[in-house]
Amino acid sequence: MNTTPSPAPPRLAAGTPAATTAPPAGLAYHRLSHADPHARWFSPLLEGLLGAAIFIGLNLMISVALFMAVRGSGVSLQDVATNRAVIMEHPALFALTFLSLIAIVPSLFIARLVVGPKPWGLIHSVAGRLRRSLLLPYLGLSFAVYGIYYAVALAVSGASLPEYRYFQPPQVEFWVYVAMMLLLVPVQCYAEELAYRGFMMQMLGRWLRTPWLPIVLPAVLFMLSHAYDPWGQSTILAMGIYAGFLCWYTGGLEASISLHVANNVILLLLSMVAGLDPFGSEGVTPMDALQGIALEGLYVVLACLIFNARARRGEVSRETQPLKVDK
């Protein structure tokens, strides 16, 4: 047993401000805007308006590049607007489409830097940053859950690649697409989690103590942003609710980012291998939806068990702990 006393904190000269101010104890993830004493009740509204303005400006610039790429690809703007799978035939369109969503990251960063709440890292977790001790295990867990599920499903069904392929890029382009999926799609998922879970949950948490509306309302908006059939949207709604619950339960975005990344990356990679339309908005059966919701639920249970194990060891917390720094 270590009996060495802890060193005393350094003394500050009179009138010298501390370098950083720890957030007050006991704040759940959705209430983290209260960690900034300078934030006001209307601060989230200003943050959202400024972030939206920056996002629109960035997307106007991306739209110019997208327009030029469309003209050079031989497809029309109407084709891109009515059939999103067209981007799977043109690498430049694919990259620009995902960059238009990734623009959420600098938009929210600048808005929070200007308006608050500060520090910026509180949008990630109660520890003020993405906690690698949770992010890496959650990424491994999510890819394992989805990977095993699809491998078993293909083995049991005996399915083979369809004779008709929606698109079949040349070998070089195939690997270009794979590289872009592995690089851009995780950042796109991170961007959407910043918006729907990070900003929206903390905006509502500025005004509400209960976590349930900050969990459910962003999930509904998340569902409405995906143009799927009703059964497809049910899986998106479930994912949004699961992701919001995980943010509240674990005190950060790590588990929800991992769930989102594994889902999107694996589905896009499978669509590449099978040559299918990854953006198909119809054809989801009730059984498909129930299996998807159950799979996401399994991940949630396992993610909570991982968090509980690390919390018992004092490594992480679901609320702000000024006297202890999460790893």
pLDDT of residue 200: 96
**pLDDT tens digit string along 253-277?**
999 999 999 999 998 888 777 666 6
| 320 within a domain of the structure (yes/no) | no
CA 287 to CA 149: how far, in whole Å?
15
Question: Looking at residues 141-152, what average pLDDT do you find?
Answer: 91
| 244 within a domain of the structure (yes/no) | yes
Three-state SS letters, 98-111:
HHHHHCHHHHHHHH
**Peptide bond between residue 169 and the one before it cis (omega within 30 degrees of 0):** no
Top-ranked range on mean pLDDT: pick from 35-39, 42-46, 154-158, 213-217: 213-217
Q: Report the greatest alpha carbon distance in the chain.
A: 77
Question: Looking at residues 13-37, what average pLDDT do you find?
Answer: 68
| 321 within a domain of the structure (yes/no) | no
Q: Which domain holds residue 191?
A: 29-312
Tell me how many domains the chain contains.
1
pLDDT of residue 5: 47
**Peptide bond between residue 117 and the one before it cis (omega within 30 degrees of 0):** yes
3-state secondary structure of 28: strand
**Cα 102 to Cα 58, 125, 141, 191, 224, distances in angstroms:** 10, 20, 24, 6, 19
Q: How big is the chain by its Cα radius of gyration, in Å?
A: 22
CA 128 to CA 122: how far, in whole Å?
4
| 227 within a domain of the structure (yes/no) | yes
pTM: 0.85
Q: What is the mean pLDDT of the chain?
A: 83
CA 47 to CA 43: how far, in whole Å?
6
| 12 within a domain of the structure (yes/no) | no
| 324 within a domain of the structure (yes/no) | no
| 261 within a domain of the structure (yes/no) | yes
**pLDDT tens digit string along 191-250?**
999 999 999 999 999 999 999 999 999 999 999 988 788 888 999 999 999 999 999 999
pLDDT of residue 232: 85
More confident call, 138 vs 118: 138
For residues 246 and 255, the answer to whether their CB atoms sit within 8 Å is yes
Please list the alpha-helical segments (H only) found in the chain: 43-73, 77-82, 91-102, 104-115, 132-157, 171-193, 200-205, 212-224, 230-250, 254-274, 286-312
Q: Which amino acid is at 27?
A: L
| 7 within a domain of the structure (yes/no) | no
